[in-house]
A and B are shown apart, each in its own frame.
Chain A
Amino acid sequence: ELKVEQNPLFLSMQEGKNYTIYCNYSTTSDRLYWYRQDPGKSLESLFVLLSNGAVKQEGRLMASLDTKARLSTLHITAAVHDLSATYFCAVEPSMTTDSWGKLQFGAGTQVVVTP
């Protein structure tokens, strides 16, 4: 069974500093997604990483994927209050076509950015 582990589960950030969220997964996959969820709200797609070495950047967020290490990172540069949210990684198993679309989510990392 595919397991997806995120750490840390809670991250208290100071404005202006840099932080990284890690997402490890247990089986072969080259498709990984990052989502953001604000309290009581839906999930917003941030990044789609579809190959080994993929790197995507949007504003202060940068995501990368290392399929050999089964690891994705979400790097936050110069944190600001607006980035306070819960961040989820999700892995799409790629072994068989039956597994396509069945996203397995990590537990989420709750980020709180304070001045």
Chain B
Amino acid sequence: DSGVTQTPKHLITATGQRVTLRCSPRSGDLSVYWYQQSLDQGLQFLIQYYNGEERAKGNILERFSAQQFPDLHSELNLSSLELGDSALYFCASSATSGYTDTQYFGPGTRLTVL
């Protein structure tokens, strides 16, 4: 158990809908990262937040957005969902802003878009 929690574990929804994935980092960690894992794209970095501020952006679609709240938990919002958004979404956390930090991964949220 990494200490990173994610809810929900599974999410089934329809195309065009909007969902919110939630992540709580390990106690004391200031950075939260979001990754998408799919069979065709592999593991892809989406976005990083550090102490409430967006720190780095990767291959995140415009339909996706994230934020980190004052208590350091983070939410990933996915809207206008498409079939191709079906994937495992991981949240990870690290102690500081990312330089040589080990990222600890949560259990993931499996999103299925029908």
Pick from A48, A99, A106: contact of B102, CB under 8 Å? A48
Known contacts A101-B48, A104-B45, A42 near B56 by CB under 8 Å: no
Q: Within 8 Å of chain B (Cβ to Cβ): is A78?
A: no
In the bound complex, residues from chain B placing their C-beta under 8 Å from that of A92 are 98, 100
Q: Is the CB of A103 within 8 A of B103?
A: yes
**Distance (whole angstroms) from the CB of A22 to the closest CB of chain B:** 17
In the bound complex, residues from chain B placing their C-beta under 8 Å from that of A98 are 56
Q: Within 8 Å of chain B (Cβ to Cβ): is A105?
A: yes
Q: Is the CB of A102 within 8 A of B45?
A: yes
Q: Is the CB of B90 within 8 A of A103?
A: no
User: Contacting chain A: which of B17-25, B68-76, B105-113?
Assistant: B105-113
Q: Is the CB of B42 within 8 A of A108?
A: yes
Q: Is the CB of A100 within 8 A of B45?
A: no
Closest to B91 in A: A42
Closest to B46 in A: A102
Q: Is the CB of A101 within 8 A of B42?
A: no
Q: Is the CB of B105 within 8 A of A101?
A: no
Bound together, the chains give a CA A106 to CA B48 distance in angstroms of 19
Q: Is the CB of A48 within 8 A of B56?
A: no
> Contact size class for A?
20 to 34
Most chain B CB inside 10 Å of its own CB: which residue of A50, A101, A107: A101
In the bound complex, residues from chain B placing their C-beta under 8 Å from that of A48 are 100, 102
Q: Within 8 Å of chain A (Cβ to Cβ): is B104?
A: yes
Known contacts A88-B43, A104-B45, A45 near B56 by CB under 8 Å: no
Closest to A100 in B: B98
Bound together, the chains give a CA A35 to CA B102 distance in angstroms of 10
Q: Within 8 Å of chain A (Cβ to Cβ): is B2?
A: yes
Most chain B CB inside 10 Å of its own CB: which residue of A92, A98, A102, A106: A102
Bound together, the chains give a CA A27 to CA B97 distance in angstroms of 21
Q: Which residues of B contact A (CB under 8 A)?
A: 2, 31, 33, 42-45, 48, 55-56, 58, 90, 92, 94, 97-108
Q: Which residues of A contact B (CB under 8 A)?
A: 31, 33, 35, 41-45, 48, 50, 88, 90, 92, 97-108
